[in-house]
Amino acid sequence: MHGRRPPNFDPHDRVVVLGGWFGCARKSLGRYERIYRDDLGYGAVLVSLPSDWREIRDASLRSGPTAMDGRAEKMLDAVGSRRWIFHGFSNGGSFLWEAVLRVLRARLADGAAAGPRPRWPDGTIFDSSPAKYGDIRDFRRAMAATYPPSDLAEFDRLERGAVAAAGECAGARGAARAASFWEGMRTEDAGAPVVPEVLYLFGADDPLTSSRPLLELIRHRQDVRRQHPSLRSPPATERPDAEGSDVEVGRHVGGISWVRFGPPSLHCGHLRTHPDAYVRAVAAFDRRVCAKVTGTRDLDGSNGNGREHLGISKL
């Protein structure tokens, strides 16, 4: 994965935003930070950790601006005019991404806004997301069936407040919001000024993020990009080299690719169960991002020498 960077490309100017899952602890994202910092040479890593149960309730029930929009505003302010990508986990990351799209579109539409115009991301990675969701109580039961008790401490800390909203999320209002969320994830390319590279990483038997509806969403997005010239991206010259006996790699279509990890891969735990395949998939994604930015095809995903320029902050 190491070697030359494409010409005229400075990795120190790039930022990755890690959007954690609900209840995610900062230390849980340390390995992801190291991938971007040490292996891929990103100049800065920004971390957003949704940790308030009211954010869960708000994002689960409202289609318009939510508490997540404040996080998105801070994140975009920190990114500034630099090139950046987004790497989100579970629906905590997807709700943040949804808010980012709202804020980005509003800022780009406001030509009189002060400061530099925000840059659309060069790429997005969805890890164990987006997921169709319903009753929070069903979500907790699926969590308990997937993880050992020690891994549920952060969620349990939030659950007292989250369960208070479970009835609402299971009702008509929650069902309508869940449907609008899913449709937004399927149609997010509509009105986008650029076509970012996209990678979906998910488990074959994840009880929280079912692979069947997610694959339907992915193929819908690929079909849209394939059918509409304004949304097409150049054909890929490679597939992620993450294949293995229990790892399935989908075809790269319209700038969208996916990797499905076999058992025993956990929800938001694919890096833990399939570390080599996960890192190779992210590195291949990063090579394609670089290729689009620079017009270069012979990329090898090296990291330059930017470790000393790393900046890490929490939003």
Residue 269 sits in which domain range? 11-314
CA torsion sign, 117 to 315 to 128 to 248?
positive
The pTM for the full model equals: 0.82
Q: pLDDT (tens digit, 9 = 90+) per residue, 222-274?
A: 999 988 765 555 554 445 444 556 899 999 999 999 999 998 888 899 999 99
Residue 230's CB is within 10 A of a number of other CB atoms, namely: 8
Q: Is residue 5 part of a domain?
A: no
**β partners of residue 249:** 259
Q: Is residue 2 part of a domain?
A: no
Residues 228, 192 contacting (CB under 8 angstroms):
no
Q: How many domains does the chain have?
A: 1
Q: Is residue 1 part of a domain?
A: no
Q: Is residue 291 part of a domain?
A: yes
Q: Is residue 3 part of a domain?
A: no
Q: Is residue 168 part of a domain?
A: yes
Q: Is residue 122 part of a domain?
A: yes
Q: pLDDT (tens digit, 9 = 90+) per residue, 26-74?
A: 889 999 999 999 999 999 899 988 766 677 777 777 778 888 899 999 9
Q: What CATH number did the domain enclosing 148 receive? A: 3.40.50.1820
Q: Is residue 221 part of a domain?
A: yes
